[in-house]
A and B are shown apart, each in its own frame.
Chain A
Amino acid sequence: MADTESKELKVKEKQELATPAEQTRSGLVFTPNVDIYETEKDIILTADMPGVKTKDLTIDLRDDTLTLSGDIEPFENPDEQDMMIEYEVGKFYRQFTLSEVIDQSKIDANLSDGVLRLVLPKIEKAKPRRIEVKAG
């Protein structure tokens, strides 16, 4: 869309998880913003998870439920004092139910600059075959 190129970005509050399951460690949990779109062959999901490194990211797919979970390492020096805090820092967690059947062995995940890009290829539908009947 051409008109979104030049518009100014507005602040969007980070969305906290509404009813998280109890965690073992206390802390805020946020839902990352995602874009999901579907092409003929794959479902592509991009999620904003700033501050999450590859080793702290867990992607789980079972029973048609996709779970994204990212942990943040604290990155402030202990002797710092807060002057102005406009956003909170916390873990990311989001679950999705996938409608299409996904080929799990070919999932591709890429995390760079805090953006996770997941490519989930759909299972190729069985091609229609003619079944030969042998006389005999």
Chain B
Amino acid sequence: MIYRRMFGFPDWGVRSPFTELEQLRRQIGRMYDEFSGTPSLRGRTGVFPPVNVTENRENYYLRAELPGISAAELDIQATGNTISLAGERKISGAEENARYHRREREAGKFSRVISLPDDIDADQVKANMTDGILTVVVPKAEKAKPRQISVK
């Protein structure tokens, strides 16, 4: 049946006249999702582990909280200007006849890639795992370091 559309030419079609409204509703829903939500959730990509990235003139620092994971179980790779972390968290099993009162810690695999804006010196990346906190120090490439310009 030919029906009038809101925009564009009248068209052949057996689509329901509500298609345009459906699209509009979806767009409004998307806009609403962007503005709602608590501030703490907005920046989260939802990938484990949460990582804090900070920088100073010389390096980038990536920190993640990974309790219970030893250095040997982590796989960190530096490629181009990205750092990828992957690993698996295992929780040591309880004995046979244990009764659980609470179970809040989770186990499983994780994998995450962080892109850094500037060029990095991939050969000099150092990582340190202490007390369940992983700190990766990524030196910036020489040409990416800020250079002080003196004014005569």
Interface residues of A (CB under 8 A from B): 4-13, 33-40, 44, 46, 48-53, 75-77, 79-87, 113-115
Q: Are A86 and B52 closer than 8 Å at their CB atoms? A: yes
| Distance between A111 CB and nearest chain B CB, rounded to angstroms | 8
Q: How far is the CA of A53 from the CA of B104 in the complex (A)?
A: 22
What would 9 A/B residue contacts be, using CB atoms closer than 8 Å?
A8-B111, A11-B46, A38-B98, A46-B91, A75-B135, A77-B56, A79-B56, A80-B61, A85-B53
Q: Are B100 and A35 closer than 8 Å at their CB atoms? A: yes
Q: Are A50 and B67 closer than 8 Å at their CB atoms? A: yes
CB closest residue in chain A, given B110: A9
A13-B40, A86-B51 given as contacts; is B68 within 8 A of A80 (CB)? no
- Give the interface size class of chain B: 35 or more
CB closest residue in chain A, given B69: A113
Chain B residue numbers with a CB within 8 Å of A80 are 54-56, 61
Q: Which of B128-146 contact A (CB under 8 A)?
A: 129, 131-133, 135
Contact of B131 among A50, A81, A87 (CB under 8 A): A50
Chain A residue numbers with a CB within 8 Å of B99 are 37-39
Tell me, yes or no, whether B108 is within 8 Å of chain A by CB.
Answer: yes
